[in-house]
Structure 1
Amino acid sequence: MKLPPEDRTLSPHTGYARAHWVAVADGLLDAAWRWASPGKARLDLPGPASASGVRSDGLEGFARTFLAAAFRVAGDGDPHNWLERYAAGLDAGTRTPGRDDAESWPVILGHDVAGQPMVESASVALGLRLTRPWLWDRLDSRTQDRVEAWLRGALRHTPAPNNWYLFPFTVAGFLDDVGRGDAETARARDRALELLEGWYRGDGWYADGDGRAFDYYNGWALHLYPVLDAHLAGKPAHHGERLREHLNSLRLWFGADGAPLHFGRSLTYRFAAVSAIGLGAVTGDTPLRPGLSRRLLSGALKYFLDRGAVDDRGILSLGWHGPHPPTTQFYSGPGSPYWASKAFACLLAPADHPLWTSTEESDDTDTIRAEPAPGFLLQKADGVVRLHNHGSDHLRPHEAESADDPHYSRFAYSTCTGPTAKDNAADNHFAVVAGGVRSVRRRIHPLGAGQGDGWGWAASWHRPIFKTAAVPGLRVESVTVARGRDEVRVHRVVGAPPGATVEQTGWAAESVLKPLSGWTGQDEVRAPHGTAYTPWVSLPRLTGDLDGTTVFIAHAVLGTEATDLDVTEEGIRWPDGFTVRITFDPLEVTAG
């Protein structure tokens, strides 16, 4: 990818300026369009098909790259005539929807019946809204009618019970904007906003549905669509203050090297993780100084470009740095990574905007931040961010607790490690072992989170699951305390069956895991399938025996050096005298 020379005066940390963002958008578009169908309705990018099939994947390639083109054109015009291609594709794709040929788009149905086209309808609608003067207004009326008819499928079928309700919301917003709104569009918008209110949990955090799923969808979907909708309509952003609150947390989700926390699903969208930061800068709904916003934006973009996210054909691969299948989901296809296009929302800020003219700033000071709403504890030390998860499990209220989900079930995630593969030893995991079977952690019940001067804590409990079964009365209560680079992991096991044991693993990287109380054994365990960061890894492991209600305390450090902590009658003590005391029934975490 051809990039301009770095500007280390304006951008001392990344060297990237607005011209780099424009160049990346153009480079990604140019490469992707080499895989277009003859009529330009599908971009059939190379790679394994998703569960939705190759026709849906081709639409996905068209729609998601259209979003990148739309942000680029809305910010700078269309010097490369990208929109001529998308206009031709719109015409060809909507002539005979549902037909099995090289151009026709799939019809939009419900989420449980080949539902992926509903997702893509939002990118098509948003792209059309952003580029209306250049594209929609120049289409003939018959093509406009066909495009509307196809989009209305999103209003007439049932979305998945999560952020998907914002897809018909976005379609309806476009139709309203071009004078084609009616009672059907009003219902779609009202329903989405009603659900969004119910999903808001405070402190800038939405759950992605009725359960406790908190991850990057909070920024790149649940905040992005309503705030951008209001901005494009020229209306006050009712949800803008919530975005502002969220960015206070999201700014801490990136390491000094620009890496986002490797946590949650759809991580193959990569630098889409910063889309809410760019949007906040554009709309003014941000607590961040412009130079810091650009540092976060460009840091994430550069992080992935420098590590092979774009392959030698110029295509975003399915994975993290390069290709990595465990990072993807069943719905991921060759066009899926192009939801990264949402990051180009920052191009809506013109070249003379403070986002681009301010000198790049960095804030890499060590930080501890408790997030009670999602049940997170953020720990930033030595430029690396750790997230201690005591609240996000991606389970709907009616779903059974079953198989392990590495993207949510681990106790800790970071900006320089990924979870081990599903069929390997689990990193950062506390397991009860009964009958030779290790338990998994699925539904997470938060017990609280808080912070003091330079330290913080988060707590939760879970019911250990053995394959598809649970032991009646068995419960694990867990507390993480973070201070500096140190993590103290405390687990109380209640109701264990006779003969059961426990295991605690550490980070999937060079790390320390020291027993403080309750443990009887210490060794290492291999994870030969590695992580998104390394092809092979071994994990430190502690083991212990259960005898009634038992408490286990461990000291973990992501790194090779650890301070000496002691467990005394007063609590867990650091060498400088700082002490944390943890009690159960009721749970209390205090420092002195």
Structure 2
Amino acid sequence: MQLPPEDRTLSPYTGYTRAHWEAAADALLAAVEPYATGDFALYHLPGDRESRSGRLSDGLEGYARTLLLAALRRDETALQRYADGLAAGTAGVWPRVRSRTQPLVEAASIALALRLTRPLLWDRLEEPVRQRAAAWLADALHAEAWPCNWELFPVTVGGFLQEIGYETQASGAAIDRGLERIEKWYLGDGWYTDGDGRKFDYYNGWAMHLYPVLHAWLADDGELLTAYGRRLSVHLADYARLFGADGAPVHQGRSLTYRFATTAPLWLGSLTGHTPLPPGETRRLASGALKYFLDRGAVDEHGLLTLGWHGPDTSVLQGYSGPASPYWASKGFLGLLLPPDHAVWTAVEEPGPAEREDAVPPVGPPNWLLQSTRSDGLVRLHNHGSEDVRYDPHYTRLAYSTATRPDPGYDNSVIVGGDPSRTEIVPLGVGDGWAASRHSAGGGTRVTSAVLAHGAAEVRAHLVTGSAPGTPVRVTGWAAGDGLRAELLPLHGLSDTLTGVTGGDRVPGNDGATEGDGVTGTDGIPGNGTLFVALARLTADPDPVPLADTVTVRVDEGAAELEVRWSHGPALRVRLDADGADVRPV
């Protein structure tokens, strides 16, 4: 991809300016054009993967998601191709929008694009085409959505149809219904769960906030925009902390192949005036993410976005991932709706949170702890409250970062009796420098876990209850990558190979205590299960201080209680039991 020269005066951190975003959008649009059908109604991108919805639906997905990019770029030449495709597609080429089918998703992208470009596209169409297109979209008003972010797709379609005066009553009902349904998933402080349960990931920003805020903004509904905008602004204070100094978003959650769609809520805050972030920080975070992926092979030799993270990577795909799925990344170009003279484009870049400070702030609703270190720019997410309805390594591991990905060998896990599962996660609290949770590990076993973090170091404690005496337990830490140092040291109840057993059996060679490793007490906690404690660290610092020198940990004999004293930080006392955790300052 050919981009303009970097501007290190205006953008000292990334070198990227508005011109880079425009050039990237132009290149992506040019690359997909050869894969359009002759009538431009479908875009069949190459590859041997087909989504579970089938080839026709995948072709519609290619049209809809790249149309959204053309709309945000306001490329009138490209928009004419999409106008031709709209005329052909609604004349019988496209599959109908039905309940809980992929065309419902794509109808939302089409409707949003038409709403954003109405004078450039919709208003120039012939009346029969407009009638056919409105009728095709209107099926979305009555289609049942999956009970998650899908509830917002009829809202988005309804917003456009209401604006053009088509089925206004049904459109209004669809809007009200969808917005009402997502309310039960709003847990406060800017955080939604993506449907019932506790599913926290990037859908919170690129869907649950994006669609309601954009709808209110486009409808010029000040009251609605204020309500949703306040939530977005609060969310962005946490969200900005999910990006590392190299631009990488934390590698957590599903649909990660959407890549720089992660920047959409950042731009949305500036677009609607609901953000706590300075304009220069907004652009630095967004441009950092775009540059991160473009520099690491997200676009192949044909200029197409691949199914993956950097390059192709099946580990981040779902059954609904088809050849055109990555083009939900088009949402990341939302900033192009802001004029060139807007402060978000003219302000000098400012550093993001991971570059400004060492910090370990809590994130309440998801029960996450975010740990960033200025020396290496890494961000680590300690997950003590998010899981999917099924086992998914992108939800259920204890920790994620901007520099690692879930390892097939079960990194960041507690493996009890050979079972690595972590289900029924119950948040037990989160505070400055700590988070705790409880989960089921199969066979009636409970694991109560707490992490305490300071700088790049972590103390991880796990109380295993409900398993048979002598059950083997293995604790794992970070999976190291290029340029990374991953460490895991046994502190209590674990051998040098990070293994132990339940039921009070002592671990040979792990009986003593020193100020360096800080181990005292017994390995078994009578009547309360068995406690396992380890010291972990993930860092890109080439010469860190010895990990054992960063903290002193003492375990009270006969109780699942730890006293943790950081060498240059606070001291905390942690008490675990089968049902809860109590963390307080010493």
Q: Structure 2 vs 1, CA of residues 174 and 521 (structure 1 numbering), >3 Å: closer, same or farther? A: same
Matched with 1:438 is 419
Q: Is the 8 A contact 1:206 1:222 kept in 2?
A: yes
Quote how far apart the aligned CAs of 1:563 are.
4.0
Quote how far apart the aligned CAs of 1:144 are.
0.8
Matched with 1:547 is 503
- Tell me, in whole angstroms, the C-alpha distance in 1 between the residues paired with 2:291 and 2:567: 39
Q: Is the 8 A contact 1:520 1:545 kept in 2?
A: no
Q: Is the 8 A contact 1:419 1:426 kept in 2?
A: yes
- Tell me, in whole angstroms, the C-alpha distance in 2 between the residues paired with 1:279 and 1:320: 23
Matched with 1:531 is none
Matched with 1:38 is 38
Q: Is the 8 A contact 2:83 2:121 kept in 1?
A: yes
What is the 5 A alignment of 1:442-461? 442-451=423-432, 456-461=433-438
Quote how far apart the aligned CAs of 1:444 are.
1.1
Matched with 2:240 is 251
2:171 to 163, 172, 185: 185
1:377 to 369, 386, 395: 369
- Tell me, in whole angstroms, the C-alpha distance in 2 between the residues paired with 1:577 and 1:329: 42
Matched with 2:441 is 464
> Between Structure 1 and Structure 2, how many residues are aligned?
535
Q: Is 1:57 matched with 2:28?
A: no
Matched with 2:68 is 67
- Tell me, in whole angstroms, the C-alpha distance in 1 between the residues paired with 2:54 and 2:79: 26
1:167 to 145, 153, 156: 153
What is the 5 A alignment of 1:129-140? 129-140=115-126
- Tell me, in whole angstroms, the C-alpha distance in 2 between the residues paired with 1:505 and 1:145: 59
Q: Is the 8 A contact 1:563 1:575 kept in 2?
A: no
Q: Is 1:269 matched with 2:258?
A: yes
Q: Is the 8 A contact 2:410 2:420 kept in 1?
A: no
Q: Is 1:288 matched with 2:277?
A: yes
Q: Deviations over 1:118-173 (max 9, x none)?
A: 10000000000001001111111111111111111211221111000100000000
What is the 5 A alignment of 1:349-428? 349-363=338-352, 364=355, 365-381=357-373, 382-395=376-389, 404-420=391-407, 424-428=408-412
Q: Is the 8 A contact 2:299 2:306 kept in 1?
A: yes
Q: Is the 8 A contact 2:414 2:473 kept in 1?
A: yes
Instruction: Specify the code of the residue in structure 2 equivalent to 1:458.
Output: A
- Tell me, in whole angstroms, the C-alpha distance in 1 between the residues paired with 2:568 and 2:112: 55
- Tell me, in whole angstroms, the C-alpha distance in 1 between the residues paired with 2:318 and 2:343: 38
Q: Deviations over 1:29-71 (max 9, x none)?
A: 0001110001100010012111111111110011000111111
Q: Is the 8 A contact 2:413 2:420 kept in 1?
A: no
1:503 to 474, 482, 487: 474
Q: Deviations over 1:542-580 (max 9, x none)?
A: 111101611111110003742423322471233347422
TM-score by length of 1: 0.88
Q: Structure 2 vs 1, CA of residues 175 and 357 (structure 1 numbering), >3 Å: closer, same or farther? A: same
- Tell me, in whole angstroms, the C-alpha distance in 2 between the residues paired with 1:62 and 1:577: 54
- Tell me, in whole angstroms, the C-alpha distance in 2 between the residues paired with 1:551 and 1:372: 26
Q: Is the 8 A contact 2:388 2:396 kept in 1?
A: no
Instruction: Specify the code of the residue in structure 1 equivalent to 2:495.
Output: T
TM-score by length of 2: 0.89
Matched with 2:521 is none
- Tell me, in whole angstroms, the C-alpha distance in 2 between the residues paired with 1:267 and 1:18: 24
- Tell me, in whole angstroms, the C-alpha distance in 2 between the residues paired with 1:350 and 1:576: 47
Specify every segment of 5 or more residues in structure 1 that has no aligned partner in the other structure, as ranges: 97-103, 396-401, 466-470, 523-541
Matched with 2:456 is 485
Q: Is 1:556 matched with 2:527?
A: no
Matched with 1:319 is 308
Matched with 1:83 is 79
1:94 to 70, 90, 95: 90
- Tell me, in whole angstroms, the C-alpha distance in 2 between the residues paired with 1:232 and 1:258: 30
Q: Is 1:512 matched with 2:487?
A: yes
Q: SS at 1:351's partner residue? A: coil
Identity level (%): 54
Q: Is 1:581 matched with 2:551?
A: no
Q: Is the 8 A contact 2:469 2:501 kept in 1?
A: no
- Tell me, in whole angstroms, the C-alpha distance in 1 between the residues paired with 2:28 and 2:36: 13
Q: Is the 8 A contact 2:307 2:323 kept in 1?
A: yes
- Tell me, in whole angstroms, the C-alpha distance in 2 between the residues paired with 1:72 and 1:4: 17
CA RMSD of aligned residues (A): 1.3
Q: Deviations over 1:393-442 (max 9, x none)?
A: 022xxxxxx6x31111100000000001xxx3111111111xxx423012
- Tell me, in whole angstroms, the C-alpha distance in 2 between the residues paired with 1:262 and 1:425: 17
Q: Deviations over 1:3-40 (max 9, x none)?
A: 11111110011111101111111110000111000110
More displaced, 573-582 or 316-325?
Answer: 573-582
Quote how far apart the aligned CAs of 1:388 are.
0.4
Quote how far apart the aligned CAs of 1:391 are.
0.8
Quote how far apart the aligned CAs of 1:108 are.
1.1
- Tell me, in whole angstroms, the C-alpha distance in 2 between the residues paired with 1:332 and 1:154: 21
Q: Is 1:149 matched with 2:135?
A: yes
- Tell me, in whole angstroms, the C-alpha distance in 2 between the residues paired with 1:574 and 1:352: 48
Q: Deviations over 1:271-319 (max 9, x none)?
A: 0001000011111110000000000010000000000100110000000
Matched with 2:331 is 342
More displaced, 495-504 or 42-51?
Answer: 495-504
Q: SS at 2:211's partner residue? A: helix
- Tell me, in whole angstroms, the C-alpha distance in 2 between the residues paired with 1:337 and 1:149: 28
- Tell me, in whole angstroms, the C-alpha distance in 2 between the residues paired with 1:58 and 1:443: 38
- Tell me, in whole angstroms, the C-alpha distance in 1 between the residues paired with 2:298 and 2:160: 32
- Tell me, in whole angstroms, the C-alpha distance in 2 between the residues paired with 1:49 and 1:35: 15
- Tell me, in whole angstroms, the C-alpha distance in 2 between the residues paired with 1:567 and 1:252: 28
Q: Is the 8 A contact 2:369 2:434 kept in 1?
A: yes
